Structure 1
Amino acid sequence: MSGFTEADVLDQSGKAFIVTGANTGLGFEASRVLAARGARVLLACRDKAKAEDAMARIREATPKADLAFLPLDQADLASIRTAAELAAKEPRIDALINNAGVMTPPLARTKQGFELQFGVNHLGCFALTALLLPKLAETKGSRVVVTSSIAHRGAKIDWDDLDARKSYSRFGRYAASKLANALFFFEMDRRLRAAGSPVTVVGCHPGSASTNLGRYLGPLQVLLPLVKLFLNTAAMGAWPTLQAATGRVKPGGYYGPTGFRGIRGVSGEVSRSAEAQDPEFARRLWDVSVKMTAIDPGLPQAN
């Protein structure tokens, strides 16, 4: 089998990883593998009880796992700032794995009033990454992992209605948030290189993985048992995340399943849409994100 799986994750002793949304799904599976390889893993989650349950499950397989709970509500910029301050007290951070996200919920808003999917999936990721960049830069070879989706293809960002005050489509807004993720790591890579930063940013996507992200699918959930036969398991869906965080990668590269239509299979380098690599869109999103969050990563504009 040619490609990256969790079996290819090398020993991570002495390294520390932050995994957002780590109590379930892809985040849990990535945390499980990293802990088993000797890493210190900070599980960044909203719910302490769920994080503690996840840590207990990881310790069933790895009794001496080095784990810690990092309180993080990615729908609240104040919580993101507090989480970054706590994380900055760690001796080192080798990688920030931006995994947390929401998928196709009814219209809802973050604490600051942003449309929930754009606010959590993109703006929360942007803000946390920006705040942790100085800490990450202290460690040679550190990485930022940004999770996009095959849903970014064909997506459109409504620049005149980012907060969904005029219209709302669950799937359209989800796809737009994932295009934003792709544009973010594309632009961040350009700016990190321009700044000569020691930090590397990498993108990934899980294909179509069987996780609880689909809990808002409503009546379509009755089809999930059948559909799951064709999906990655959560453990398989985490392989691109693990490759992006620990494997041999290209700065600014994009990794995901290499099987049928990118839906499942072993991880490897995969393609993105042309829109996801549009410098004009990427710069525009960066500037909008700085304005909306009032958080500036302080990276120079790339040529």
Structure 2
Amino acid sequence: MVVRLNEIDGQEKRVFLITGANSGLGYETSKFLLGKGATIIMCCRDLLLGERAKQKLLKFNLPGKIELVELDLSDLVKVKNFSDFIKNKFNYLDVLINNAGIMAPPKTLSQQGLEIQFAVNHLAHMHLTLELLPLLKEKDNSRVVTVTSGVQYFGSIKWDDLQGKLKYDRWASYSQSKLANVMFGLELNSKLKESNSKTSSLLAHPGFARTNLQPKSVEANQSWQEELAYKFMDPMFQSAKMGALPQIAAAILPNAKGGEQYGPRYSFRGYPKKCKNAPQALNHHSRKRLWNLSEKLIKIS
């Protein structure tokens, strides 16, 4: 069944924390929810760009409220400090949307010396989520929405070379991080159900959405082949506004349930509907293994 969001109830008095909220999917999600009266905690790595996005949103005179906060997901220590700040400032959260991400850069290491895509897309969001769960557990029907990608279906976890030290392939590492998002989201939901938590964990992917990820990847890699491929594929891409709809659906649909994933109707474009999770993410043993490994990396860092 295709999801339509135009009849969704208002979100007044509800608080949404969105990572990567100053551009692309995060910006469009913020705009939609502000229009519904929600309070949005806009998390941005660059406060200058975040302030520009905030001022742009304020010009629409939407009924919701904006809190702009700096968050650098490439440093797990800063993620912890950010989480402590949020826990001191807010009494509760209704929804955490793990939206931010990076795509296929040249080999780069995080502040803790970890492969940057695995660190930012997966570990940082896992760390953030676990730190903020106490705020989410204060509210009925609270949710964690982790944004993945269609490449989840092609990804695999390189258990013997998780950080790409032996061989780095930027697209394989991106796919691994997006599969890890799904495995984390499903394992989190399983743990929340076991503890009879009020909070549920859902997933979403945007299909082919036109965001700043594509030009940033081209710029970072100086790849004319990649630039040409994006130009060739451009008619297949949908807008960031459309790409944001699956994560909005996962965040606020009254009948959405933990463990579900929402994506475009036609796999890579269209209005959102429930879609299948990556088959490799359904193996409970693998999910638990990844969870334990990730916990150790976070604690060591």
Give the TM-score taking structure 1 as reference length. 0.93
Q: CA deviation at 1:11?
A: 0.6
Identity across the alignment (%): 34
**How many angstroms does 1:6 deviate by?**
4.5
What residue is the counterpart of 1:249 in the other structure? 256
Deviates more, 1:111-120 or 1:81-90: 81-90
Contact 1:35–1:62 under 8 Å retained in 2: no
Q: Which residue of 2 aligns with 1:299?
A: none
Paired residues in the alignment total 292
Q: Please, which moves more after superposition, 115-124 or 224-233?
A: 224-233
The match for 1:230 is: 236
Q: Judging changes above 3 Å, is the alpha-carbon distance between structure 1 residues 211 and 6 closer, same or farther for their aligned structure 2 residues?
A: farther
Correspondences of 1:30-49 after superposition (within 5 Å): 30-49=29-48
Give the equivalent residue in structure 2 for 1:138: 138
Aligned residues of 1:58 and 1:65 also touching (Cα < 8 A): no
Q: Is the 8 A contact 2:122 2:181 kept in 1?
A: yes
The one-letter code sitting in structure 2 at the alignment partner of 1:118 is F
Q: What letter corresponds to residue 217 of structure 2 in structure 1?
A: Y
What is the SS of the residue equivalent to 1:7?
coil
Pair 1:201-2:201 in alignment:
yes
Question: Any idea what the Cα deviations from partners look like across 1:180-232, whole Å, max 9, x if unmatched?
Answer: 00100111111111111111110110011111111213212234344222112
Q: Deviations over 1:224-276 (max 9, x none)?
A: 344222112100000001001101212111111012xx100010100122211
The equivalent of 1:71 in structure 2 is 70
Retained in 2: the 8 A contact 1:15–1:92? no
Cα distance change of structure 1 residues 6 and 229 upon mapping to structure 2, 3 Å threshold: farther
Q: Is the 1:5–1:236 contact (alpha carbons within 8 Å) kept by the matching residues of 2?
A: no
Match of 2:246 in 1: 240
Could you tell which deviates more after superposition, 273-282 or 17-26? 273-282
2:52 maps to which residue? Answer: 53
1:63 CA displacement: 5.0
- Taking the aligned partners of 2:178 and 2:259, their CA distance within structure 1 comes to 16
1:16 aligns with 2:21: no
The question of 1:267 aligning with 2:272 is answered yes
TM-superposed CA distance for 1:59, in Å, is 1.1
Mapped to 2, the partners of 1:5 and 1:181 lie a distance apart of 25
CA–CA separation in structure 2 for the residues paired with 1:189 and 1:216: 32
Q: Indicate if the aligned counterparts of 1:9 and 1:243 stay in contact, CA closer than 8 A.
A: no
Residue type at the aligned position of 1:31: S
Contact 1:189 1:201 in 2 (8 A): yes
C-alpha separation in 2, matches of 1:99 and 1:152: 15
Separation in 2 of the partners of 1:140 and 1:286? 25
Residue of structure 2 equivalent to 1:278: 283
Q: Distance in 1 between matches of 2:75 and 2:228?
A: 33
2:274 maps to amino acid? E
Deviation at 1:37, TM superposition (A): 0.7
Q: How does 1:64-103 map to 2 (within 5 A)?
A: 64-88=63-87, 89-103=89-103
In the aligned structure 1, how far is the partner of 2:57 from the partner of 2:232?
A: 29
Could you tell me whether the CA contact under 8 Å between 1:179 and 1:276 is conserved in 2?
A: yes
Amino acid at match of 1:235: K
Equivalence map 1:88-127=2 (5 Å): 88=87, 89-127=89-127
Structure 2 residues not aligned, in runs of 5+: none
- Once the 2 structures are TM-superposed, how far is the Cα of residue 86 of structure 1 from its aligned partner? 1.8
RMSD over aligned Cα, in angstroms?
A: 1.4
Cα distance in 1, alignment partners of residues 115 and 5 from structure 2 = 35
Task: Quote how far apart the aligned CAs of 1:3 are.
Answer: 2.2
One-letter amino acid of the structure 2 residue matched with residue 17 of structure 1: F
Instruction: Report the Cα distance in structure 2 between the residues aligned to 1:8 and 1:164, rounded to whole angstroms.
Output: 46
Aligned to 2:265: 258
Equivalent residue of 2:6, what SS? helix
Question: Unmatched 5+ residue regions in structure 1?
Answer: 296-303
State the shift of 1:159 in Å: 1.1
Q: What secondary structure, in the 3-state scheme, does the structure 2 residue paired with 1:153 have?
A: helix
